[in-house]
Amino acid sequence: MASSEHSTRVGLIGYGTAGKDVAEAILGGQAGDSRLVAVLVRDVAKYAGITLDGCQFTDCEETFFASAPDVVVETAGHAAVIRYAETSLAHGCDFMIVSVGAFCDQALFDRVMASAGRHGKRVLVPSAAIAGLDRIAAAAQGPLERVTLTTRKPVKAWRGTFAEEVVDLDTITQPTVIFEGNARESSRVFPESVNVSAALSLAGVGFESTDVRVLIDPSIDKNVHEVSAKGRFGEVRIEVRNTPSPSNPKTGHIVAMSVAKTLKDLSSPLVIS
């Protein structure tokens, strides 16, 4: 898509699996009238051979914000949220957070919200790997009695995680529950894998009141999220089966699609939420 002088200027933090997919979506016109102006990485030398139209790679925070992004998109994990959320808002940027599990830290969440209010900017939470956040958020306007999330992921998604200390991933044959508790606890245990529980909590009844079950399931090849909620509005049950990314099975293609859709909404005359 050709960019106009009024395009939404996007700064991207992180260029791993999700970051690359987001960059491709923006450059491919899937993010509406958006233009990628800068990518902030840890070591710019690693990306010396990569060229993105009209965009610079940098490992310098000052250079990144000097590119004057309208919105900063975080795809680099909880540490990036802690380091850059308030800074982005203070620089006059909206902040789009993918690693929303970072907000299980109530003190961090409160600081970021205060900063957003102080600077007149917004924190944007794309639905990413989950569906139905619009329904849950609407239902939360009336009393919500219960919200439950059950997450099941195939064995390959748990390689390199704490699950290897709990279960022998090479011999597991049956679906195995490795966590039961509330969303705040789950976000701490699975900081990079269960961001969906945090997003669901923010949309609905909060971290403490959102029940979460997490399973390793050797019988599936997709990441499965099941949401159920009950309240004054009635009841809802949603099941999402996300195709894992080949390069990082802990995430899915839908994450970048969701970010692109949220960016598109910023410049679209029609917003379907």
Taking alpha carbons only, the member of 13, 5, 21, 52 closest to residue 259 is: 21
**CATH topology assigned to domain 8-124+253-267:** Rossmann fold (3.40.50)
First to last CA, the chain: 23
pLDDT on residue 193: 65
Indicate if the pLDDT at residue 233 is higher than 80: yes
pLDDT on residue 182: 94
- Name the CATH superfamily, with its identifier, for domain 133-242: Dihydrodipicolinate Reductase; domain 2 (3.30.360.10)
Model confidence at 3, pLDDT cuts 50, 70, 90, reads: low
pLDDT on residue 61: 97
Least reliable range by pLDDT among 21-35, 74-88, 118-132, 180-194: 180-194
Question: Cβ-count burial of 2 within 10 angstroms (0-12 exposed, 13-18 middle, 19+ buried)?
Answer: exposed
pLDDT on residue 130: 82
pLDDT on residue 4: 58
Angle (CA) 107-113-108 rounded to 5° is: 20
- Tens digit of each residue's pLDDT (9 = 90 or more) over 136-160: 999 999 889 889 999 999 998 888 8
pLDDT on residue 250: 67
Angle (CA) 252-23-186 rounded to 5° is: 35
Q: How confident is the model over 64-83, as a mean pLDDT?
A: 97
pLDDT on residue 143: 87
Q: How confident is the model over 33-61, as a mean pLDDT?
A: 94
Domain boundaries, the chain: 8-124+253-267, 133-242
Task: Identify whether the C-beta of residue 210 lies closer than 8 Å to the C-beta of residue 201.
Answer: yes
Q: What percent of the chain has pLDDT over 70?
A: 96
Other CB atoms within 10 A of residue 59 CB: 15
- Tens digit of each residue's pLDDT (9 = 90 or more) over 172-229: 999 999 999 999 888 777 766 678 899 999 999 999 999 999 999 999 998 899 999 9
Query: Distance between CA 193 and CA 188 in Å, rounded?
Result: 10
Indicate if the pLDDT at residue 242 is higher than 60: yes
- The catalytic site residues sit at 225
pLDDT on residue 1: 45
pLDDT on residue 129: 74
Q: How confident is the model over 110-123, as a mean pLDDT?
A: 98
Q: Which residue has the higher pLDDT, 248 or 182?
A: 182
State the average pLDDT for the chain. Answer: 91
| pTM for the whole structure | 0.89
SS3 category, 4: coil
- Tens digit of each residue's pLDDT (9 = 90 or more) over 74-109: 999 999 999 999 999 999 999 999 999 899 999 999
Longest Cα–Cα distance in the chain: 57
